[in-house]
Structure 1
Amino acid sequence: MSYTINRMITDEGFEAVDKRARQALADHGFGVLTEIDVKATMKKKLDKEMPAYLILGACNPAMAWEAIGIEPRVGAMLPCNVILREVPEGVEVSAIDPVASMTAVDNDELKQVAAKVRDMLSEVVEAI
């Protein structure tokens, strides 16, 4: 089972894909709560160079509310990360598959919520 939902963007640069990703997330009810510029962090902390790599911590408040109501400790697995990664072919977009990440939680009701979020994130990735 894959743990991410992926798409390769070959016709736009990193900054344009970043902008489109944020818009697609917003259009589907997600806000970006956290942002980690991995490239800048690796340069600063380890003096290592790498291609552009950004982690967006995305949250759909309604879905988070529902999930936390079902399983209060699920917050340890939130938010849903979406990465933008510069590769030779273009920019790879990958979103966590919430169904895959929730396999460690034995709660069928939570897994139904995770399936809804997976569908939403699939639409986000496709819209980018």
Structure 2
Amino acid sequence: MSYTMNRTITDADFDTVDERARKALADHGFGVLTEIDVKATMKKKLDKDMSAYRILGACNPTMAWEAIGLEPRVGSMLPCNVILREVQGGVEVSAIDPVASMSAIDNDALKEVAGQVRDMLSKVVEAV
């Protein structure tokens, strides 16, 4: 089972893909709560160079509210991460598959919510 949904964008640079990803997230009810510039962090902390790599911590408040109501500790697995990374020939967009990440929790109602979020994030990845 794959744990991410992926798409490689070949018609835009990294910053443009970032803008498109944020718009797609907003259009599908997600806000970006956190952002980690992994490339800058690795350079600062380890003096290592790498290609552009950014993690966007996305949250759909309605779905998060529902999930937390079903399983109070699920917050340890939130927000839903979307990564943008430079790859050969483009920029890869990857979103976590919430069904895969929630499979460790034995709660059928939560798995149903995770399926709804997966559908939403799949649309986000396709819209970028």
CA distance in 1, matches of 2:75, 2:20: 27
Root-mean-square deviation (Å)? 0.3
1:40 paired residue number: 40
Write out aligned runs for 1:38-77 (5 A).
Answer: 38-77=38-77
Residue by residue over 1:24-52, the C-alpha shift from the partner in whole angstroms, topping out at 9 and shown as x without a partner, is 00000000000000000000000000000
1:91 paired residue number: 91
For 1:104, the aligned partner's letter is: A
1:115 lines up with 2:112 in the alignment = no
For 1:93, the aligned partner's letter is: V
Aligned length: 128
Gaps of 5+ in 1: none
Identity among equivalent positions (%) equals: 81
Alignment TM-score, normalising by the size of structure 1: 1.00
2:19 paired residue number: 19
1:30 paired residue number: 30
